[in-house]
Amino acid sequence: MRGQNKKPWKKGISLLTAAACVCTLLAGCGQTEGEAEEEATGEVIPVQVQLPESGSLTLSNEFIGTISPEESVYVIPMVSAEVTETNVSVGDAVKAGDVLCRLDDEAARLQLASAQAQYDSAAAGVNSAEVGYEMAQAQYNSTAAQLDAQMGGQKNLQMYQLQIQKENVERAIDDIYKQKDDLAEQRQDAKDDRDELRGDRDEAREALEQAQAAYIAARARVTYLEPTTAEEQEKLTGTNGPYYNKQTEYEYDLKQAKSALAEAQAAFEQAATAAGQASAAYEQAKAGIESIDDGQEQLDDSLADAYKQLEQAEAVMNITGEQVYEDTQKVVDANKAAAALGIDSAEATVNSAKVGMEGAQVAVDSAEYQLDMYTLTAPIDGVIEAVNVNVHDLASPGTPAYVISNKGAMTVTFYVSEGVRNTLAVGQKISVDRNGKLYSAAITEIGSMIDQTTGLFMIKAAVSGADESLLTGCSVKVTVDTYSQDNAILIPYDAVYYDEEQAYVYVAEDDTAKRRDVETGIFDEQTITVLSGLTTEDQLITSWSANLREGAAISIQTAQDDATDGEE
């Protein structure tokens, strides 16, 4: 079987071009048998040769990476409250301890005032107890006044806190409704994308049917020109056949038909791949709509839960106002009665009052600590990357208010396949391109677990010489040396031919072309590696000729010969 020059594809072939080639090749050639024989008789093929080289070939791959700072912190409120003051914006530089924002601390100040009042009252109790037995009645009056003040302050504080909780739930309900509206818009956009992708899928299927028709026509042409029985052969080349006495024309038409079949088959396979991709994109769009529907259901569940929380908050407020403090008042009255009976234990009351004063001091310290939580400060030196709160917003312990990054060191993160991952090493140098500006980087981390979102392995690298153009979250192009082969034979890519799956080359021996089957390795646009079947001593034929075959007579051309031919 004559070898065919079937090289790995570098560029795609459109369906219309493939169909046009099939029609042209099926039309045949008008050259006569006699003319072909005359050209083949005694022909010496001029060729160019070179000695293969031994060396290494390294391939580079490009990936899309994301820039992020090496150190980044989230400033999260410890309490839920309204923002009353903000001091920084995105891009501001801050020092550790700088005030970022202040929250509504009225509740905390009331708590501190209440604790301070308890402390003052306890201190007064100590002083009163020390007056002695004679002042026991005065101590009773002071204690009664203290209990009344304490009850009123606690009730006001607790009712205020319950009101804040109720308002927070109402804000959460409003937020859920806004999210539902956003999801509705996203779902409409996803439906529009799905309808567009359905059209793309239908066009790809139509193109696949056309490519399949062209492939079937080309295969029928080869079957007609390459019969399997003597009777069918007689119909072609016999006395009454279209190729009677036209053996050369018949062989040429058969060769052209097989070449057309190969091209039609390649076009058909490419169309099949495109149709599969279009169908996959359409299904992905459908899955996106289903995901949005699931999100809407979750928001509906959250909305129902929020309304339950609102009902519970209102119920607690009613119970607190109507029942709890009635029982508390009974306790206060009982304490007053107990205080009246404590005249005989004035000395014990002094000691107890001192203990109470120490406890009140702890309460004051705790209230001051709670008050500090309403002022957010920067934990590190850095740059404000994100601000998620504004004046009158509700700060929440579950949501970061600020993101601060130390941009002294930047990291690029990208994802690779398992095959590429296995070629990388920690410390390996890579190149980072941001809008044409190049940075060097070194791999610091190679992921050992597949990322569930991308299906790839995460790679991280430290960027050297990072400047202001490397913004957090920006996309960059990462170039990495991946596959390589050392101590291999290097030859021009275009010197390799393929017979089915077998790669081969032609070498010059005694003015004759000899076919050499070879085992090839990796390749780029210019060079391919040969792992076996060829040595650096062989004279590799690098020029192409339609008549080049096993045993063909050749004439090796030099650079001087080429120059002489050009002058003629």
Q: Is 463 exposed, middle or buried (0-12, 13-18, 19+ CB in 10 A)?
A: buried
- Map out the domains of the chain as residue ranges: 45-57+486-567, 62-74+403-484, 77-103+375-400
Please tell me the predicted confidence (pLDDT) of residue 186: 87
Q: 553 has which bridge partners? A: 512
- Give the integer Cα–Cα distance in Å for 54 and 523: 14
b/e map of 181-209 (b: 16 or more CB within 10 Å)? eebeebbeebeebbeebbebbeebbebbe
Contact 4, 262 (CB under 8 A): yes
Name residue, tokens 């090749």.
25
- Give the integer Cα–Cα distance in Å for 123 and 29: 117
Our CA dihedral for 528, 532, 533, 535, rounded to 10 degrees, sits at: 80
* Residue 233 CA: distances (Å) to CA of 27, 36, 217, 220, 254: 20, 22, 20, 15, 13
Query: What CATH topology corresponds to 77-103+375-400?
Result: OB fold (Dihydrolipoamide Acetyltransferase, E2P) (2.40.50)
**Superfamily designation of domain 62-74+403-484:** Efflux pump adaptor protein, beta barrel domain (2.40.30.170)
For every residue of 19-49, DSSP letters joined together read HHHHHHHHT-----HHHHHHHHTT--EEE-E
Kindly report the number of other CB atoms within 10 A of residue 18's CB atom: 23
Please tell me the predicted confidence (pLDDT) of residue 242: 85
Name residue, tokens 């190049």.
438
* ∠ CA 292-394-369, rounded to 5°: 130
Q: Show the tokens assigned to 370.
A: 């709670």
Q: What SS3 class is residue 382? A: strand
Q: What SS3 class is residue 260? A: helix
Please tell me the predicted confidence (pLDDT) of residue 445: 95
Please tell me the predicted confidence (pLDDT) of residue 70: 74
- Give the integer Cα–Cα distance in Å for 262 and 222: 11
* Rounded mean pLDDT for each run of 10 residues along the chain, 568 residues in total: 40 31 35 41 86 90 90 87 91 89 90 90 82 76 76 73 87 90 88 88 90 90 81 81 83 87 90 90 87 88 88 81 67 76 77 88 91 90 87 89 82 94 93 93 94 94 85 91 89 94 95 95 92 94 93 85 53
CATH architecture of 45-57+486-567: Beta Barrel (2.40)
> Which residues lie below 8 Å from residue 549, measured CB to CB, with a gap of 6+?
2, 3, 513, 515
Name residue, tokens 């075959």.
549
Q: Identify which of 124, 181, 122, 86 has the alpha carbon closest to the alpha carbon of residue 393.
A: 86
- Give the integer Cα–Cα distance in Å for 528 and 521: 7
Contact 366, 34 (CB under 8 A): no
- Give the integer Cα–Cα distance in Å for 528 and 523: 4
Are both 45-57+486-567 and 77-103+375-400 of the same fold? no
Please tell me the predicted confidence (pLDDT) of residue 116: 92
Our CA dihedral for 482, 483, 485, 490, rounded to 10 degrees, sits at: -100
- Give the integer Cα–Cα distance in Å for 19 and 26: 11
For every residue of 126-140, DSSP letters joined together read HHHHHH-GGGHHHHH
